[in-house]
Structure 1
Amino acid sequence: MAASLKYVLHYYGSQSLLQRLGVWRVDPARKGKYWVVYIHGGAWRDPRVTHESFMPSIDWILKTSPAATDNVGDNSRDSTSNAIAGFASIDYRLSPHPQFPQDPAKTPPDQYRGARHPDHIDDVRSALVFLQRTYGFGGDYVLVGHSAGAALAFQLLTTSSPSATATEHPVPPAAIVGFEGLYDFTAVDARYGGAYATFLRGAFGDDPENWDAAAPIKFTGNYAENWPGGKFILLGWSPDDTLVDEPEADNMARRLRDVDGFVNEGQGGELGEKTLLLLKDVRGDHDEIWRSGEHVSRMVWIALRTLGTEL
């Protein structure tokens, strides 16, 4: 179904061939609708995971009825056109991967995967600025991130201005959907017996203090205050996930409630209060979830419904 939409590949930077993004347009001219923007995972380093990994989720979103977020309905395309202006999926510069080594002396600079924080989040910022300039949707979008992509979605909110290597900060999203996310880098590495240290060193350097400085759960500010236009966060986790455990989602949700003042979805609260939903009935192993796309679709429709789109 994604193949039936108009697809455009854009390059938002010139340093790397990975500074690119794909756009699938539904009806970008219509006002009052949201874009759905995806950030893939892959431990900040896997060249096999690209922006095209969002296509199975787009297929499910296009065919799934929001009235019952996990069932197919005949009104699905009408609902999609009423709620969604377009889809975008972001590639970003990657860190080195030991299974896919490159010789820096022989690899063209724009093909070499040697990124280190904050390169990844700078690219996400640049990609979002490009999208907002090109398609003019401002903050009317749901930002969806898987695994490391979920970490990047929250890192977008942890600074009010970009790093020295970036040029501009984008308008933040109306909602964030993070599934199987990595939020507390030192803690998850410790729980897995140091198994994640290799890719964390590749992305953030050798010093675990730098991992903590970049970890979303260790953000020293307040997410609600740094995100005045934000409305809703959905954290999704699957009990089938063998790579990211339940405490990652539980602890991030606790932090958002206890530190940042988010209110559990469905528990009321004052008008304008930011809400949080921790969804732990997602099914599938870590990468099976995006490979299928079914539960990603469900989470996106929940976010759109919470935002009050006309379904």
Structure 2
Amino acid sequence: MTEVAYGVHPLQKLKVFHHSPENTHTLLLIHGGAWNDPGNTYNDFMQMADSLMSKRVLVNVLGINYRLTPEIVHPFHLQDLVDGIEFLVREYNIFRILVLGHSVGATMALQLLNYKQILEAGYEQLQEKVDFSITNLKIELDTIFFVDGIYDIADLVAEYGPPYQAFVDRAFVSKKQYAEAVQPSRAKFTNFAFSPKKIIVVQSLQDELLSLRQTHKFMAFLQLLGVPYSSHEEPWGAHEEVYRREELADLVSETLKQIDA
């Protein structure tokens, strides 16, 4: 395992759990933590990476860290994800990617599907204007695993009130900005710019921080768009346990086998 920097900030790093130039698949893991918790890092996925390697799954496994609030606000979390992927393309010749995001990592995975529009809107709504250029990612998205995610931030605040409003307000400069930051609540939205071959939505029935409301509304949104998906609502532990579950690693492993079948 090695750590590589894709930027100058200490958190702009990728962890390479496993990599072989011969592998045709790469799994990128995006941690959660409400955009602000330093306790959540790419090391959240140590058990998953070990499990996939023990199963001899032929896949590169990498995790990404990104800068956190309050040092930054949206859209810089997403910008770091895009920059990290661009680094993988440039330095590792990785063009075919599976993504697994947990919690706000799932939010970022969703944002990735329309990253150009979401970055542009996010930058324009900052109180202090910044110069920006948005790269054109030349990647193919095989599969996205959305795990116990947040998909409509405004609805999250409506459901949970002040405690959740507090961390949202730290990560975004306005209600308009966080409404425009995810596709289900965007004022103008047509379809995903990226079209992953497969979308898999996972929700632990024992998650104490997120009810099924976010997941069910997200699946309804996918149905509205006519985007196929599969879903797994399982008793896979608490919010910070689900990504460590062997069952989730099994799901990733089986999905990879189906891609190659």
Provide TM-score, normalisation by structure 2: 0.88
Q: Which has the larger radius of gyration?
A: 1
1:91 paired to 2:91 = no
Task: Output the CA distance in 2 between the equivalents of 1:280 and 1:188.
Answer: 19
> Is the CA contact 1:122–1:165 (under 8 Å) kept in the aligned structure 2?
no
For 1:1-311, list aligned pairs within 5 A: 7-14=1-8, 16-30=9-23, 33-63=24-54, 76-77=55-56, 80-81=57-58, 84=59, 86-96=60-70, 114-138=71-95, 140-160=96-116, 163=120, 165-170=132-137, 171-205=139-173, 207-219=174-186, 220-224=188-192, 226-228=193-195, 230-258=196-224, 260-263=225-228, 276-290=229-243, 292-306=244-258, 308-310=259-261
Q: How big is the alpha-carbon RMSD for the aligned residues of Structure 1 and Structure 2?
A: 1.9
Pick closer, same or farther for the CA change 1:216–1:286 going to 2, 3 Å: farther
Task: Output the CA distance in 2 between the equivalents of 1:37 and 1:237.
Answer: 19
Equivalent residue number for residue 111 of structure 1: none
Task: Output the CA distance in 2 between the equivalents of 1:118 and 1:90.
Answer: 16
Which AA in structure 2 matches 1:132?
A: V
- CA shift digits 1:171-191 (9 cap, x unpaired): 252211010100111212221
Task: Output the CA distance in 2 between the equivalents of 1:295 and 1:304.
Answer: 14
> Is the CA contact 2:31–2:102 (under 8 Å) kept in the aligned structure 1?
yes
Task: Output the CA distance in 2 between the equivalents of 1:238 and 1:160.
Answer: 31
C-alpha deviation, 1:28, in angstroms? 2.3
- CA shift digits 1:127-166 (9 cap, x unpaired): 000011111121x111010000000011111234654535
Task: Output the CA distance in 2 between the equivalents of 1:191 and 1:281.
Answer: 22
Task: Output the CA distance in 1 between the equivalents of 2:203 and 2:248.
Answer: 11
- CA shift digits 1:258-296 (9 cap, x unpaired): 1x2113xxxxxxxxxxxx012111510100112x34233
C-alpha deviation, 1:62, in angstroms? 2.5
> Is the CA contact 1:23–1:89 (under 8 Å) kept in the aligned structure 2?
yes
C-alpha deviation, 1:90, in angstroms? 0.4
> Is the CA contact 1:59–1:293 (under 8 Å) kept in the aligned structure 2?
no
Q: How many pairs does the alignment contain?
A: 248
Which AA in structure 2 matches 1:11?
A: A
> Which region of structure 1 is more displaced relative to structure 2, 52-61 or 123-132?
52-61
Unmatched segments (≥5 aa) in structure 2: 121-130
C-alpha deviation, 1:13, in angstroms? 0.9
Pick closer, same or farther for the CA change 1:222–1:303 going to 2, 3 Å: farther
Which AA in structure 1 matches 2:6?
A: Y
C-alpha deviation, 1:245, in angstroms? 0.9
> Is the CA contact 1:35–1:137 (under 8 Å) kept in the aligned structure 2?
yes
Provide TM-score, normalisation by structure 1: 0.75
C-alpha deviation, 1:54, in angstroms? 1.2
